[in-house]
């Protein structure tokens, strides 16, 4: 009798432990009433950006990569939203479509046929089938007040498309090498910021495969054609770079000159397999820090300690607490960083960071990151970054095979939502078992692609993941509403871009899908809340007259001191993340009682001098000119 009791007791205890473990491990769920209430604040119209026809989903690759050609073909879709025709709205789309390796500039759907779509092709420059576009980054690269584009590639260094003189309603471009002569790079991330504080916008480049590797050349036979040398500490990738602005001209022969700042990054900063970059001023000193999201190894947070002409960075790492796993410490992770975005999640006026990783059920559970500030001065002089990962209590730690991330207020109530692109390669045969075996392979074998399992046509790795639309509930946790809202967009997605394309105060977004049709999601929620939209611009050149050409004030910060509902600070850094570039505009929700918002704007002029000033702005959209004498005034564009 006693023996039977012991057996039953053991069985009961085992069952209790299993159930208890499941309860602890499972994600908390909001009540149906809460989810229904959250869903009421959102509505989107899905509009195609390109054709639905898909003729291929595999690229021609070097022989070394032939057995994993589906894996190698997993990147290339990208999107940006900007104002190319100078109508005062970011209602133009720059779309990279890997199905035909095209880069197309076109008006956004429903905004009118304002100009004929333009193909951004590097005509007259070295270019062939061993090269493929990976992203499009709009900005004014030659400081003439026109919106240009930088297109980056696998197989070559980036190309600048500089806007020609003439009616902006008919955009045309002069093509120019970013570096002379062109180099064989495989770039997957670009961010823009005045990195050395001289008043000019510089370029940070994140490269993936080793420099010189002809990844898409079927005739290539090189030692550079290799994969990562570790799943958790891979440092044999292409070198990341800083290119400093050197000079420019506009007119009939537009030019822009950039040069590499040798030694700006140390080897431990530069040699990761970078998939995303983000610039943000974390310590309010006017210099943008860089977050480098690396595949196969630790991400890097770089504290900017540059002086004009001499970019320098300090490697920052987080604090490990008693119960913190090593990979949940900033700068110590071994995950697969593939996207980064900035937002103020705890409303302390200090930017926080959200980062994509792989978090696939029944496959691989790393963790997305939500690096939340733990004090005002988040960057210590000793290299300590005072950020803790709060992704699990915030509800965003698990989502799928993540890529680009963006944050924005789509409800117009001051609460930030988090968008995430997901999915890797689409097929019919699940190859996660083989990938799990690969992850346990000796690191000495990993770099040799011939030692990898087959990942070819028809093979699937997280190919049906839904995009995520995380919405915060009153209890502080985020919940994914993408399926309920009809925007789950199942399949491989890469880039995302945000803009209020029609300036109605409702934030819209575009998604770039890999090997399939891409879409604009137009925000058509029924509720309209008071808002403040700001385009911060400055004279494009040092000493430029206020009435001369203007350009977005990259790096400017706006703090809504009174009248804001929820988030009240934001910075103008549109190029952040993986394959998605948002508009260089700021959008704030206002309190229902606000008749005028008091705003402090901080910026660096084109001469390199920092200024700040206070403004009083009524609800609605405003274009504010930030001058070299430290004053600011509203203008009409």
Q: What pLDDT, on a 0 to 100 scale, did the predictor assign at position 6?
A: 67
In the predicted model, what is the mean pLDDT of residues 119-133? Answer: 98
Is the predicted pLDDT of residue 399 greater than 70, yes or no? yes
Residues 576 and 342: beta-carbon distance below 8 Å = yes
Q: How confident is the model at residue 21 (pLDDT cuts 50, 70, 90)?
A: low
Q: What pLDDT, on a 0 to 100 scale, did the predictor assign at position 637?
A: 77
Is the predicted pLDDT of residue 475 greater than 60, yes or no? yes
CA–CA dist 242, 206 (Å, integer): 9
DSSP 8-state code for residue 196: T
Q: What pLDDT, on a 0 to 100 scale, did the predictor assign at position 14?
A: 67
Cβ partners under 8 Å of residue 130, min gap 6:
155, 214, 216, 217, 220
In the predicted model, what is the mean pLDDT of residues 446-451? Answer: 96
CA–CA dist 107, 92 (Å, integer): 4
Is the predicted pLDDT of residue 547 greater than 70, yes or no? no
Name the percent of the chain lying above pLDDT 90: 92
Q: What pLDDT, on a 0 to 100 scale, did the predictor assign at position 548?
A: 77
Q: What pLDDT, on a 0 to 100 scale, did the predictor assign at position 543?
A: 79
In the predicted model, what is the mean pLDDT of residues 566-586? Answer: 98
Q: What pLDDT, on a 0 to 100 scale, did the predictor assign at position 169?
A: 85
Is the predicted pLDDT of residue 538 greater than 60, yes or no? yes
Question: What are 511-537's pLDDT values in tens digits?
Answer: 999 999 999 999 999 989 999 999 999
In the predicted model, what is the mean pLDDT of residues 69-97? Answer: 98
In the predicted model, what is the mean pLDDT of residues 222-228? Answer: 96
Is the predicted pLDDT of residue 15 greater than 80, yes or no? no
Question: What are 418-435's pLDDT values in tens digits?
Answer: 999 999 999 999 999 999
Q: What pLDDT, on a 0 to 100 scale, did the predictor assign at position 369?
A: 98
Cβ partners under 8 Å of residue 493, min gap 6:
77, 403, 404, 421, 422, 423, 467, 511, 512, 513, 514
Is the predicted pLDDT of residue 1 greater than 80, yes or no? no
Question: What are 345-386's pLDDT values in tens digits?
Answer: 999 999 999 999 999 999 999 999 999 999 999 999 999 999
CA–CA dist 609, 198 (Å, integer): 8
Q: How confident is the model at residue 26 (pLDDT cuts 50, 70, 90)?
A: low
Is the predicted pLDDT of residue 102 greater than 90, yes or no? yes
Mean pLDDT rounded to a whole number for the chain: 95
Is the predicted pLDDT of residue 23 greater than 60, yes or no? no
Q: How confident is the model at residue 121 (pLDDT cuts 50, 70, 90)?
A: very high
Q: What pLDDT, on a 0 to 100 scale, did the predictor assign at position 309?
A: 97
In the predicted model, what is the mean pLDDT of residues 603-611? Answer: 98
CA distances from 80 to 16, 117, 121, 509 (A): 52, 15, 16, 10
**Buried residues in 97-109 as b, exposed as e (16+ CB within 10 A):** bbbebebbbbbbb
Q: What pLDDT, on a 0 to 100 scale, did the predictor assign at position 58?
A: 97
Residues 102 and 122: beta-carbon distance below 8 Å = no
Q: How confident is the model at residue 18 (pLDDT cuts 50, 70, 90)?
A: low
Is the predicted pLDDT of residue 394 greater than 70, yes or no? yes
DSSP 8-state code for residue 444: H
């Amino acid at each position: 009798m006693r023996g039977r009791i012991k057996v039953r007791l053991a069985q009961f205890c085992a069952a209790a432990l299993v159930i208890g473990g499941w309860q602890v491990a499972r994600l908390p769920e909001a009540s149906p009433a809460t989810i229904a209430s959250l869903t009421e604040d959102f509505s989107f119209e899905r509009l195609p950006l390109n054709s639905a026809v898909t003729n291929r989903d595999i690229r021609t690759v070097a022989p070394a990569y032939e057995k994993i050609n589906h894996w190698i073909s997993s990147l290339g879709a990208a999107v940006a939203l900007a104002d190319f025709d100078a109508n005062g709205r970011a209602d133009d789309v720059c779309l990279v479509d890997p199905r035909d390796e095209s880069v197309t500039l076109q008006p956004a759907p429903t905004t009118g046929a304002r100009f004929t779509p333009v193909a951004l092709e590097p005509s007259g420059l070295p270019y062939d089938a061993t090269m493929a576009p990976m992203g499009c980054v709009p900005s004014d690269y030659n400081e003439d007040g026109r919106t240009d584009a930088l297109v980056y590639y696998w197989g070559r260094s980036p190309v600048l498309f500089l806007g020609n003189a003439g009616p902006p309603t008919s955009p045309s471009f002069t093509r120019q090498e970013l570096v002379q002569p062109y180099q064989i790079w495989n770039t997957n991330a670009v961010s823009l910021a005045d990195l050395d504080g001289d008043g000019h916008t510089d370029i940070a480049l994140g490269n993936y495969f080793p420099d010189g590797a002809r990844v898409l050349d079927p005739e290539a036979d090189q030692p550079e054609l290799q994969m990562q040398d570790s799943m958790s500490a891979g440092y044999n990738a292409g070198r990341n770079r800083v290119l400093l602005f050197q000079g420019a001209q506009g007119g009939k022969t537009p030019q822009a000159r950039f040069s590499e700042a040798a030694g700006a990054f140390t080897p431990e900063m530069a040699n990761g397999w970078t998939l995303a970059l983000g610039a943000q001023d974390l310590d309010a000193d006017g210099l943008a820090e860089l977050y480098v999201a690396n595949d196969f190894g630790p991400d890097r947070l770089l504290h900017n300690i540059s002086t004009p002409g001499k970019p320098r960075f300090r490697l920052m790492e987080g604090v490990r607490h008693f119960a913190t796993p090593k990979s949940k410490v900033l700068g110590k992770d071994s995950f697969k960083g593939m996207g980064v975005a900035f937002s103020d999640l705890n409303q302390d006026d200090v930017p926080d960071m959200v980062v994509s990783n792989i978090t696939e059920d029944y496959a691989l559970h790393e963790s997305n990151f939500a690096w939340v500030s733990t004090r005002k001065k988040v960057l210590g002089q000793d290299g300590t970054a005072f950020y803790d990962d709060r992704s699990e209590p915030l509800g965003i730690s698990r989502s799928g095979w993540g890529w680009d991330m963006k944050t924005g207020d789509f409800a117009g109530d001051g609460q930030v939502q988090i968008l995430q692109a997901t999915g890797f390669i689409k097929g019919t045969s699940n190859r996660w078992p083989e990938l799990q075996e690969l992850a346990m392979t000796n690191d000495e074998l990993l770099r040799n692609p011939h030692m990898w399992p087959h990942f070819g046509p028809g093979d699937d790795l997280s190919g049906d993941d839904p995009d995520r639309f995380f919405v915060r509930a009153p209890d502080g946790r985020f919940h994914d509403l993408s399926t309920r809202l009809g925007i789950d967009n199942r399949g491989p997605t890469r880039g995302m871009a945000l803009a209020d394309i029609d300036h109605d105060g409702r934030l819209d977004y575009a998604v770039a899908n890999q090997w399939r049709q891409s879409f604009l999601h137009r925000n058509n929620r029924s509720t309209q809340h008071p808002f403040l939209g700001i385009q911060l611009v400055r004279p494009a050149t040092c000493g430029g007259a206020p009435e001369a050409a203007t350009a977005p004030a990259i790096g400017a910060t706006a703090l809504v001191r009174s009248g804001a509902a929820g988030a009240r600070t934001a910075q103008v850094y549109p190029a952040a993340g993986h394959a998605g570039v948002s508009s260089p505009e700021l959008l704030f929700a206002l309190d229902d009682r606000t008749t005028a918002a008091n705003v402090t704007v901080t910026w660096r002029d084109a001469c390199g001098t920092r200024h700040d000033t206070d403004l009083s702005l009524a609800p609605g959209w405003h274009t504010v000119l930030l001058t070299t004498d430290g004053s600011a005034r509203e203008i009409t564009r």
